[in-house]
Structure 1
Amino acid sequence: MNETTLRDLVDQVRDGKLARRDFIARMVALGVGVPLASAMLADVAVAQGSSIEAPYKPTKRGGGGPLRLLLWQGPTLLNPHFATGTKDQEGSRPFYESLARYDADGALVPVLAAEIPTRANGGIAADGLSTTWKLKQNVQWHDGQPFTADDVVFNWQYATDPAGGAFSVGFYANVRSVEKIDVHTVRINFLKPTPIWDRSCNLWLIPKHLFSGYVGAKSREAPANQKPVGTGPYRFVAFTPGDLVRGELNPNYHLPNRPFFDTIEMKGGGDATSAARAVLQTGEFDYAWNIQVEDNVLKTMEASGKGRVVFKPSGNPESIFLNAADPWAEVDGERASVKSKHFAFSDPAVRKAFGLLIDRKSIEDFVYGRAAAATANALNNPAQYNSKAIVAEFNVDKANALLDAAGWKRGADGVRAKDGKRLKLVFQTSINSVRQKVQAIVKQACSKAGIEIELKTVQASVFFSSDLTNPDTYGKFFSDIEMFLNSRAGTDPDRTMQQWVSWEICQKSNGWQLANKCRWSSPEYDKAFRASENELDPVKRAALFIQMNDMACNAGYVVPVAVRAQVTALSKSISAPLTGWDLDMSGIHDWFRT
């Protein structure tokens, strides 16, 4: 595609003749990643003096009354650096902000940044070794202190302190340093040339002046961990972990005419079904998060006419994970130690047989409906990253044959055993009607292959919590099998595929905060991931991600089930720019009541 054609397409976007997402889709089809496509669109639009941002309708700040939000998995902490679960990330977002966010098309749009770095504006170095971010001026923290480059540098130092055990350390992989250029400019310097210069820009930033005394081993002691002071559209009022978060309008917010609502209230507790009902049928709330409810139930609720269900396309798969470690024995005082091996899943035949016992088509048809599509791939969407080599297959007979050949013999009760070890496995996930139905489908199929499954359900507020003392969190993974959603921000697969590298293994030494929950890794996978971090050719980079997907899926420790849309319940009176590529709350400054 030549420059004239490109400019013509941008003109069509500006004039409303071509949707922004269609422009990006055309670029993606040519092997251009979404961030780069968005940057090209921004470069030409800025050069022509045009703007393609969606209009924000309210003409003044405030006056909108209360915004009532329902997060049935109530936030348990409000420090984004320790927010391993989405509920805690969403709970932090009205108060804290990032340099940029991803919109409905997966394109980067500035938040605390004055603009998105591009080659044209000098923000992206030609050698791929640095990115320069210009910050908005006159932005204040909620206590009136100025937001500056020092805060951005501090967040890198805070996250990467090895004694802190911060979940956010992965955002800074391949970062050599974050350097202050002047009070409103920072440069991120990379160890090697990288195409994923935007990885750290989606991290919510905390203030240096309140957290500098609480770094490393003291990071959990900061009073502001539970009383956030951010730059966001709402100021903190009160927080009861797992129950209630309250905020009020920030009168000094840096965007004009925002926010619209005078107060916000995030209510936790209950379950997804009751949350959906509170928006769609009773109208008690304006918004309900993560409505993982059977589709036929949602359709019945929608018929009440008070709310609507929003399905936001994403690349997030609901997956089942097999523990590579032994969750029942201790090594050096640690359960599920990476030094141990699982008695059954260390046998490739058991892992392959288990993969054949997942009836994905029935799960799609009878459980998820509109909300998901069956998949056997860990990496789903955009299309250039979808592997054709991994094919979903449900075959009980083949699973039985594999186990027979591997020496797993049925006992008198029909349960297989080998070397005195019975194939009796504990399968845990959060309490949710959809997940429990998936568990039941899997258990039934496994019983036909001589595998006994004990189902374990954990309150979501516990399962996804960052509580270092609770044994039932998904990070500790003290069971044989567990199921949850792999979520990612943006369309780049980097963060998704990072969860199986060896340096991200969840273990006691890092507070079980890192991404690799199942504790499987391989040198070949690590090598491919490292190569992807520095591969600037988008076609070659996509091939590396497909290779990683195939390695992870063929190894069998990750068993994808269905790629889920992000499902939200909204009052019919609420206008909210929701996206499947970022947090729901990432655009809360633009929410208003029509």
Structure 2
Amino acid sequence: MKRLIAILAQAATIAVVSAGAAHADRGSDGHLNILYWQAVSILNPFLSGGNKDVHGASLVIEPLASYDEAGNIVPALAAEIPTPANGGVAKDLKSITWKIKPDLKWSDGTPFTAHDVVFTAQYCMHPDGGCQQAAKFTDVEKVEAVDDLTVKVTFSVTKPFPYGPFVGSESPIIQKAQFQGCLGPKAPECTEQNFHPIGTGPFAVTEFRANDVVSLKANPQYRDPAKPAFATVTLKGGGDAASAARAVLETGEFDYAWSLLVEPEILEQMVAAGRGTLATAFGPSVEYIEVNLSDPSPAKGALRSTREGGPHPFLTDPAVRRALSMAIDRQAIVEVGYGPAGKPTCNLLSAPEIYASTANDWCLKQDIDGANRLLDEAGWVRGSDGVRAKDGVRLSLLYQTATNSVRQGTQALVKDMWSQIGMETELRNVDAAVFFGGDPGSPDTAHKFYADVQMYTNNFPGTDPERYLSYWHCDEIPTPANNWLGNNMQRFCSDEYDALVAEMAQTADLAARAETAKRMNDVLVGQGIIIPLVHRGSMSAHSLTLEGVRMNAWDSELWNAADWTRRK
């Protein structure tokens, strides 16, 4: 473990190639192999919120601005970042005006203009579109092209943080000419467009096989004639985190492997092979358990896991939710599964530090006795088999997550902890490509939530959590009507919380925003709607020959792939 910590510390301080460094010729470094063990399902982030899909798409389609590795907003397709100081943000904070870099072209050679940006807003804001990133456009009144290189976004309310639309890899620009026939309910039907988007990014798609592989080539129209250094890219999916780590660190088959949720001692052995290094960064990622407040019973038929199907038979009891959290030893989970890439947490918002609440720190110490007393007082009585019940309802739940050795290890630990308070737990794991996929026909997605509790990591791009916290608004609940694309997996609906969402949207002072964010965090965590476990550092691996990687916890990890080069 000490060796691994030293390796991580060294990796964090290794000098990287400057983002502005020139390379001899576009494509001169040959082929790049990237491995995402959660395979890419679609290359349209507006129809999938999964990181694997967002990251894959970021090689092809771009936003007006991105977040760099320090969480700063930096121009991508925009000429500069609009601010009140440069006049780009209106004095009344109700509009933002973006200037686009001149002479940008799509990979098909046609001009990129402000009209593409306006169309992108129309696409995501369509009332029947089920856009996964609709929260980015909260309070947007209109988006208009002032001229071919100027876009103005007007908000219906004061917007202290106006960098929602078109900022970060979750909100890129799509080409109007390609997608204009894909508005509203037609969006999921546009397979060619969703699988082969025309972009402005460093690479263009040559072949896409859903849940398997993406083949790309250097975009001949990319704005920097010396970039990208790689002529072709294979973004391969499948396997698991351990095999992905091995493919970079031991065998050298791949140049980059993403999201290495692997036991620390195993990673240490792999790094010793001398082929690759680990890169880690702590941002907003938190591994948590979410509680289903609706009834997931198959007997509910089409109303299964919907508010219309009725409340959950026992997870609507605050005492049960509180006891589940109290029984968990978060430090043990970190030590066994995460090592230096994890920290115990009691918050949905664990970073940036200004948003981290201390109101829930009681969860840092496991309290089995206290959890048992709480359930006793709530009338849940142990039966002869040790499982608690009340009014004929047993505390028996299905606990699902994505297939991953660390997650399965965490499940086993938590199951044992919950058994100590009279909870019967069945474990289930689903292939990650399916679990995080956006297929509305699959019964196994996180959005369908056909289980009692489920566990995964969630986060938000950039450093401001306003859009992320709006995910738990009543309107964000996934339903059959919106193709199960909402973000409020728990089916949580609260007038109090919705009011805080509105308050956050109108608060300009940073300190006041932080206090509102903490209150929102404390509603979700304090009521046991979300059970945080681990503040996760993003950890990936890359070959020692791959230079220019700038590990980013605030945006796509592939955000600066245009700058990656092969060491000669």
Which TM-score applies when normalising by structure 1? Answer: 0.90
1:377 is the counterpart of 2:347: yes
Q: 1:208 aligns with which of 161, 173, 176?
A: 176
1:449 is the counterpart of 2:421: yes
Q: For 1:421 and 1:330, how far apart are their aligned partners in 2? A: 16
Q: For 1:479 and 1:547, how far apart are their aligned partners in 2? A: 28
Q: 2:554 is matched with which residue?
A: 581
> Is the 2:280–2:551 contact (alpha carbons within 8 Å) kept by the matching residues of 1?
no
Q: 1:427 aligns with which of 399, 402, 412?
A: 399
Q: 1:414 is matched with which residue?
A: 386
Structure 1 pair 377/273, CA: closer, same or farther in 2 (3 Å)? same
1:401 is the counterpart of 2:373: yes
> Is the 2:135–2:471 contact (alpha carbons within 8 Å) kept by the matching residues of 1?
no
Shift of 1:448: 0.9
Structure 1 gaps, min length 5: 1-20, 22-52
> Is the 2:207–2:214 contact (alpha carbons within 8 Å) kept by the matching residues of 1?
yes
Letter of the 1:227 partner, please give it.
Answer: H
Q: 1:591 is matched with which residue?
A: 564
> Is the 2:19–2:563 contact (alpha carbons within 8 Å) kept by the matching residues of 1?
no
Q: 1:346 is matched with which residue?
A: 316
> Is the 2:37–2:238 contact (alpha carbons within 8 Å) kept by the matching residues of 1?
yes
Q: Deviations over 1:458-491 (max 9, x none)?
A: 0001100000100010011010000011121001
Q: For 1:400 and 1:98, how far apart are their aligned partners in 2? A: 50
Q: For 1:177 and 1:588, how far apart are their aligned partners in 2? A: 33
Once the two structures are superposed, the pairs formed by residues 173-322 of structure 1 within 5 Å of their partners are: 173-200=138-165, 201-202=167-168, 203-222=171-190, 223-322=192-291
Q: Deviations over 1:496-553 (max 9, x none)?
A: 2122111111111111112111111311111111111111111111110011111111
Q: For 2:57 and 2:20, how far apart are their aligned partners in 1? A: 26
Q: For 1:311 and 1:332, how far apart are their aligned partners in 2? A: 44
Q: 2:86 is matched with which residue?
A: 121
1:358 is the counterpart of 2:328: yes
Letter of the 2:550 partner, please give it.
Answer: P
1:389 is the counterpart of 2:359: yes
Shift of 1:332: 8.1
Q: For 2:303 and 2:206, how far apart are their aligned partners in 1? A: 39
1:523 is the counterpart of 2:495: yes
Shift of 1:140: 1.1
Shift of 1:331: 5.7
Shift of 1:330: 6.0
Once the two structures are superposed, the pairs formed by residues 115-194 of structure 1 within 5 Å of their partners are: 115-194=80-159
Name the count of aligned residue pairs.
543
Q: 1:323 is matched with which residue?
A: 292
Q: For 2:354 and 2:460, how far apart are their aligned partners in 1? A: 17
Q: For 1:185 and 1:338, how far apart are their aligned partners in 2? A: 43
SS at match of 1:63: coil
SS at match of 1:141: coil
Q: Which moved more, 1:207-216 or 1:195-204?
A: 195-204
Structure 1 pair 349/294, CA: closer, same or farther in 2 (3 Å)? same
Q: For 1:495 and 1:444, how far apart are their aligned partners in 2? A: 36
Q: 1:49 is matched with which residue?
A: none
> Is the 1:354–1:399 contact (alpha carbons within 8 Å) kept by the matching residues of 2?
yes
Letter of the 1:208 partner, please give it.
Answer: K
SS at match of 1:333: helix
SS at match of 1:176: strand
1:563 is the counterpart of 2:532: no
SS at match of 1:559: strand
Shift of 1:114: 1.0
Shift of 1:79: 1.4
SS at match of 2:416: helix
1:507 is the counterpart of 2:479: yes
SS at match of 2:111: coil
Shift of 1:206: 0.9
SS at match of 2:428: strand
Q: For 2:382 and 2:86, how far apart are their aligned partners in 1? A: 67
Q: For 2:518 and 2:447, how far apart are their aligned partners in 1? A: 26
Letter of the 1:215 partner, please give it.
Answer: L
> Is the 1:387–1:546 contact (alpha carbons within 8 Å) kept by the matching residues of 2?
yes
> Is the 1:176–1:189 contact (alpha carbons within 8 Å) kept by the matching residues of 2?
yes
Letter of the 2:117 partner, please give it.
Answer: V
Shift of 1:195: 1.7
Shift of 1:59: 3.4
SS at match of 1:167: coil
Q: 2:4 is matched with which residue?
A: none
Q: 1:92 aligns with which of 37, 48, 57?
A: 57
Q: For 1:348 and 1:544, how far apart are their aligned partners in 2? A: 23
> Is the 2:118–2:145 contact (alpha carbons within 8 Å) kept by the matching residues of 1?
yes
SS at match of 1:584: coil
Structure 2 gaps, min length 5: 1-11, 13-17
> Is the 1:486–1:496 contact (alpha carbons within 8 Å) kept by the matching residues of 2?
no
Q: Deviations over 1:193-227 (max 9, x none)?
A: 11221111221111000111121111122221111
Q: For 2:509 and 2:525, how far apart are their aligned partners in 1? A: 25
Higher RCO (Cα < 8 Å, 6 or more apart): 2
Shift of 1:190: 0.6
> Is the 1:287–1:569 contact (alpha carbons within 8 Å) kept by the matching residues of 2?
yes
Q: Deviations over 1:76-107 (max 9, x none)?
A: 11112112211111121111111111011100
Q: 1:61 is matched with which residue?
A: 26
Q: For 2:417 and 2:425, how far apart are their aligned partners in 1? A: 10
SS at match of 1:445: helix
SS at match of 1:586: coil
Q: 1:468 is matched with which residue?
A: 440
Shift of 1:54: 4.5
Letter of the 1:154 partner, please give it.
Answer: F
Shift of 1:333: 2.7
Structure 1 pair 196/330, CA: closer, same or farther in 2 (3 Å)? farther
SS at match of 1:170: helix
Q: For 2:332 and 2:176, how far apart are their aligned partners in 1? A: 51
SS at match of 1:277: helix
Let me know the Cα RMSD of the aligned residues: 1.4
Q: For 1:260 and 1:327, how far apart are their aligned partners in 2? A: 49
Q: For 1:240 and 1:183, how far apart are their aligned partners in 2? A: 35
Letter of the 1:579 partner, please give it.
Answer: N
Q: 1:38 is matched with which residue?
A: none
Identity over aligned residues, as a percent?
A: 42
Shift of 1:256: 3.9
Q: 1:481 is matched with which residue?
A: 453
Q: 1:18 is matched with which residue?
A: none
> Is the 2:352–2:463 contact (alpha carbons within 8 Å) kept by the matching residues of 1?
yes
Letter of the 2:100 partner, please give it.
Answer: L
SS at match of 1:354: helix
